[in-house]
Structure 1
């Protein structure tokens, strides 16, 4: 009975843990990588570890630089702001990325994320640049 109770309590505790984003407090949260205050709602990002700890970044390029020294197998969520919906975090692994010299990002990487390829294609047709998937971008910027 004692072991059954311990097992049930453990399962309840573990089952109740939900990995989720931690809202970015624009104007007060600092970038984990460069320590700049996060103010840009079109380019801010965060990742959340499998233990629920959130790391926030002022730009996608800061997150990618941080990933060079991070074991990303321990990351449960990659979240990026949707360029067309500032302040709305989307799944970074499913986003389409645009590097365009005509869109300035906080750290000068000119890197923006879009929830879907059609939106990225539309902005690219107007502002030029190069499109990437998550895996292509990660390979290009982190050498992984």
Structure 2
């Protein structure tokens, strides 16, 4: 019975660690502030998040701020677990940065002026490009270190 008393706390810690799910957290417009520019998040269509390997979540109001944060702040590239962009068409959903299809248009008017929207599929991007003038953007042109 004594060995059970020692094993139970260990098992609880293992379960707690296993249940830690590092994924994007909902961005709250009007409540959350950008981790880079410190402005309040004002447009639900352009947010982004960076999550470290330790589970810290940094929220951004625009792709521009995420890019600048990765260039200038104290998070090393090897400490980044994931980067996510808000799905332009479904603002409560996220797309992993490497899976996003990016389109830049002056018609988008994003908070910090990147004017880049993230789409889930090539087809969604193509549909958007039919209604507004702009150009496709490659992730590697914004973040060369990103695979």
TM-score tier (shorter): 0.7 to 0.9
1:95–1:133 Cα contact (<8 Å) kept: no
Aligned pair 1:28/2:31, yes or no? yes
- Residue 20 of structure 1 and its aligned partner are, at CA, apart by 1.9
Equivalent residue number for residue 136 of structure 1: 141
Please give the alpha-carbon distance, in whole angstroms, between the structure 2 residues aligned to 1:28 and 1:47. Answer: 18
Q: Write the deviation string for residues 84-118 of structure 1: whole angstroms up to 9, x where unpaired.
A: 11222222220011111221100111111111111
Equivalent residue number for residue 96 of structure 2: 91
Please give the alpha-carbon distance, in whole angstroms, between the structure 1 residues aligned to 2:69 and 2:101. Answer: 20
2:63–2:85 Cα contact (<8 Å) kept: yes
Please give the alpha-carbon distance, in whole angstroms, between the structure 2 residues aligned to 1:7 and 1:86. Answer: 40
SS of residue in 1 equivalent to 2:78: helix
Considering only CA atoms, is the larger Rg found in Structure 1 or Structure 2? 2
SS of residue in 2 equivalent to 1:68: helix
Please give the alpha-carbon distance, in whole angstroms, between the structure 1 residues aligned to 2:106 and 2:78. Answer: 32
Gaps of 5+ in 2: none
**RMSD across aligned C-alpha pairs, in angstroms?**
2.5
SS of residue in 2 equivalent to 1:47: strand
Gaps of 5+ in 1: none
* Count, aligned residues: 141
**What's the TM-score, normalizing by structure 2?**
0.81
- Residue 72 of structure 1 and its aligned partner are, at CA, apart by 2.3
